[in-house]
Amino acid sequence: MKALVFRAFGGPEVLAVEEIAEPALAPGTAVVRMKAIGLNYADVYRRQGNYHLVGEPPYILGYEGAGVVEAVAPGVAGIRPGDRVGFADAPRANAELVGVPADRLIPLPDGIGFDTAAAVLLQGLTAHYLANDSYAVRPGDRILVHAAAGGVGQLLAQLCKAKSAYVIGLTSSEAKRETALAAGADEALLYGGDWAAEVLRRTASPGGSGEAGVDAAYDSVGATLMDSFRAVRTRGTVVFFGMAGGDPPLVDPRMLMDTSKTLTGGDLWNHVTTAADRIRRAESLFGDLLAGRLKLAAPTRFPLAEGAAAHRLIESRASTGKILLVP
């Protein structure tokens, strides 16, 4: 089979398509013929050598995708050849065939295509646990979403809106500000200047009788953590789930005591620990997509052989929708 591989860490130029052996049908797994593969920034970090990789070269990136089951190991129940499936956490996805643990496969309902599944699963499952578990968004809540034009940001803003919250997005450019607004944010501010003070100003009641600040801030930037604390009200919550802008500053726990504010962390893999978790959350996302409550920007598709170009695009930070690789 063909796979996008690399043999040394480095820039996009280290990626190349090669013919390698097909994956073995291991116990408890299924082999999936890939139709669409999601590209994520974690793939860039792994290619650069910043994330741990198991095994020896040639390395194969990719953890997310969708396709058709080609073979099922003996004893695996509930999955048959020909089933349409997706997954968000199975390695070596940048290939024509992928061996996937059966408990990580997510059935695709009618109406959800391969591109849609590969574009929504990882980031959608992340947005789902953030809005439902890290901080359970309620009607009338005022929510601040960092990087609101990004993949998780756009979905998170829409899920919060579906819960009747008021969403303020933060973006790095005017073009991304328009993307965040188109995705459903009620307002969108630009990083730079004192954006936390602007959030407080915009959330203050006209008569001054209500407390300014958002109920929750979802911070995936990291370096902005202290400003996120400033932007939330007393007894508000900051959800820290990424470091796209650099390491966060250290937090003195006395600050939490003085303001009664809550800091919580978020990691998807603490929330999808069983097949039932994955399927329940994925079915919720698919239902929102089919009902029109959740919308995806059209993905940018690259043939698997042009994986290096896809990596250049995601590293440019110029893309706003999902990038897919297509075998």
Cα 118 from Cα 76, distance rounded (Å): 23
Render pLDDT for 219-248 as a digit per residue (tens, 0 to 9). Answer: 999 899 999 999 999 999 999 998 888 788
Render pLDDT for 116-146 as a digit per residue (tens, 0 to 9). Answer: 999 999 999 999 999 999 999 999 999 999 9
Looking only at the bridges linking them, the beta strands covering 166-171 and 187-190 are parallel
Cα 182 from Cα 149, distance rounded (Å): 9
- Mean pLDDT, 10 residues at a time, the chain of 327 residues: 97 97 96 97 91 86 97 96 97 97 97 97 96 96 95 95 97 93 95 94 75 95 93 96 84 86 91 93 97 92 97 85 94
Burial class (CB in 10 A: 0-12, 13-18, 19+), 282: buried
31-54: buried (b, 16+ CB within 10 Å) or exposed (e) per residue? Answer: bbbbbbbbbbbebbebbeeeeeee
Phi, psi of 42 (to 5 degrees): -60, -30
- With 0.85 as the threshold, say if the pTM is over it: yes
Query: Of 278, 304, 312, 276, whose CA–CA distance to 117 is shortest?
Result: 278
Cα 70 from Cα 17, distance rounded (Å): 22
Residue type, 241: F
